[in-house]
Amino acid sequence: MDVIATTRNGQLRGTVHDEVTTFLGIPYAAPPVGSLRWRPPAPAARWDGVRDATRFGNAAIQTADTGMDLRAQQSEDCLYLNIWAPAETEEASLPVMFWIHGGGFLNGSSSLAIWTGERLCRNGVVVVSVNYRLGAFGFLNHPELGANFGLQDWVAGLDWVRNNIAGFGGDPTNVTIFGQSAGGAATRALLSAPAARGLFHKAVIQSAGYEDYAVVESPSFQRSRAATGRMSERLGVADAEALRRTPAEAVRAASLAEAGINPPPGQVHTPANLVWYPVADGQIMTEDFSGWPQDVPVLLGFTQDEARMFVQPETLYAHPELRPQDVYTPQTLAAMADALAGPNAPQVLEYAAKTGSSPYEAIAEIITAAVWHEPALASLERVAALDRTVFAYDFVRVSPGARTTGLLAKHSAEIAYLFGSMNPPEAYDGTDAKVSDEVQHAWTEFARTGVPSSVDGRTWPIYRPQQRELAYIGDRTEFRAAEPSTLAGLIADARRPPSGQLDRR
């Protein structure tokens, strides 16, 4: 069944199916093409009549082809958002959950099937998902053109929500931003974006957006400025207006070449080398948490086996021309220990030997500790010390399918539970269905009240430096003190410079 909604730009035709109202492909800003490339998002044009909103808008240009089914065409004209709401709520005032997708700021789209909002919204919330400019299109850092265009896209999307979401049953005074991976880093960035103040009221940071990496160089203003210079050299163009006239495919290719996704010789890939990233420029994004309002609570967490998404188990190794044992070698393990643990590399290798881990298992555990667990725990300690309200979780549930493949509770494992997109169905069981209910309940209660809770009514504890309690989301949710691994401790000891001097993103 069709349904009509009215926005400040004109009317939209969406659909109602199975008690969910859906509007797709809504322009929240003008297409950032031609003279609008590398400019702040401009207001979307008004339209006459009723605009069709039953199909996803264009996905942003993907810096690298991952083979994902985007269910949409790629284009620089990509500033579209989507809305899912419980049907018959036009006169309601429901919490709004504003999803920022992941993909390393290089790939992804709100149109991907894994994070559509038709199941999550049934918990009594309005779900909004947004596209934004990726790669150098969104995160070029040029002395004349500026920086942080993707971040400005998120602010424009939130501004659209403030002005229009009441017409879809949402409450513009109760907006939660949430994102995973790059989306988690985006959420962190918005906490330090002056233009975003007042546009959201709660924030969820999933599997990214923590402290700077312990040893590996972190994303920074200097890195993206230098990469922009190298990209200009590749293109043979430095002038701002000439860059705007450069064909999009040439920009994409040069953006990929400078993205930092190829590991150094002798190492394996980690997402700790990303270059195109929101960075503190002193205007659009300030240093650290200086813009974080005191009354905005945060839910922050990670999964137990993050790195297994990036360092594939031997059973799933994606390079048939090589054998896993040719890649996950003792030599590679030593190189990764040196890269990620610095002066504590010998102790890391000693720990791996004592536990009897294979080189693959040890590599995955080191990357997980260095890139996710240690920075997340350090972030929790610092945020709690700032007297901010923060809740924390560790997602540890391993589905039957993930156990078989060896992916375990990998990076993004919680997404299928949060959005109810558990596919293929045979990889999950009845316990997973209950865990999905638990995750959805906790996230939506946080959006509703600022305090996550379990289905059985247990309120999550606030993370405090003394107790350090986390919600461990497994077969059931348990609350207990954080359990930093031996590796996380070694990584923490290897931090350089001292954490108080870090140039945090």
Q: What CATH number is attached to the domain comprising 282?
A: 3.40.50.1820
**Which of 239, 274, 296 is at the close of a domain?**
296
Query: Of 492 and 414, which is predicted with more confidence?
Result: 414
Query: Of 266 and 277, which is predicted with more confidence?
Result: 277
Cβ-in-10-Å burial (0-12, 13-18, 19+) of 387 comes to exposed
When pLDDT is averaged across residues 235-249 and rounded to a whole number, the result is 95
Residues 263-273: pLDDT tens digits?
888 888 888 88
Q: How far is the CA of 31 from the CAs of 13, 79, 131, 251, 454, in angstroms?
A: 21, 6, 12, 17, 42
Buried b (16+ CB within 10 A) or exposed e, 349-364: bebbeeeebebbbbbb
3-state secondary structure 369-382: HHHHHHHHHHHHHH
Are 341 and 366 in contact, with CB atoms under 8 Å apart? yes
384 and 491 assigned to the same domain: yes
Residues 427-449: pLDDT tens digits?
999 999 999 999 999 999 999 99
pLDDT for the residue numbered 290: 64
| Closest by CA position to 177, among listed 98, 117, 278, 96 | 98
263 and 350 assigned to the same domain: no
**Which of 296, 329, 353 is at the close of a domain?**
296
Angle at Cα 133 formed by Cα 206 and Cα 310, nearest 5°?
A: 45
236 and 255 assigned to the same domain: yes
Question: How many structural domains comprise the chain?
Answer: 2
Instruction: Give the chain's mean pLDDT.
Output: 92
Are 384 and 464 in contact, with CB atoms under 8 Å apart? yes
Percent of the chain residues topping a pLDDT of 90: 78
108 and 179 assigned to the same domain: yes
Buried b (16+ CB within 10 A) or exposed e, 414-437: bbbbbbbbbeeeebbeeebeebbe
| Closest by CA position to 255, among listed 277, 270, 240 | 277
Tokens of residue 329, six digits? 């070698």
239 and 321 assigned to the same domain: no
Output phi, psi for 176, to 5 deg.
-110, 125
pLDDT for the residue numbered 91: 65
Residues 87-101: pLDDT tens digits?
976 567 999 999 999
Does 77 score more than 90 pLDDT?
A: yes
222 and 320 assigned to the same domain: no
172 and 273 assigned to the same domain: yes
**Which of 296, 313, 337 is at the close of a domain?**
296
Tokens of residue 50, six digits? 């009723």
Per-residue confidence at 36, pLDDT binned at 50, 70, 90?
very high
pLDDT for the residue numbered 500: 35
324 and 283 assigned to the same domain: no
Specify which residues 80 forms β-bridges with.
27
61 and 103 assigned to the same domain: yes
277 and 185 assigned to the same domain: yes
Q: Report which DSSP code applies to 59.
A: B
Residues 159-191: pLDDT tens digits?
999 999 999 999 999 999 999 999 999 999 999
Q: Residue 394 region, left (φ>0) first, then alpha (ψ -120 to 50), else beta?
A: beta
pLDDT for the residue numbered 213: 76
pLDDT for the residue numbered 106: 96
Map residue 298 onto helix, strand or coil. strand
Among the residues of 9-111, which ranges form H helices? none
pLDDT for the residue numbered 464: 92
> Length of the chain, please?
505
Are 135 and 256 in contact, with CB atoms under 8 Å apart? yes
Catalytically active residues, by annotation: 181, 306, 411
Q: How far is the CA of 486 from the CAs of 304, 331, 348, 350, 471, in angstroms?
A: 14, 21, 9, 11, 20
Angle at Cα 270 formed by Cα 275 and Cα 75, nearest 5°?
A: 50
Domain that holds residue 368: 305-388+396-501
279 and 207 assigned to the same domain: yes
- HSE (side-chain half, CA atoms, 13 Å) at 27: 20
332 and 236 assigned to the same domain: no
Cβ-in-10-Å burial (0-12, 13-18, 19+) of 467 comes to middle
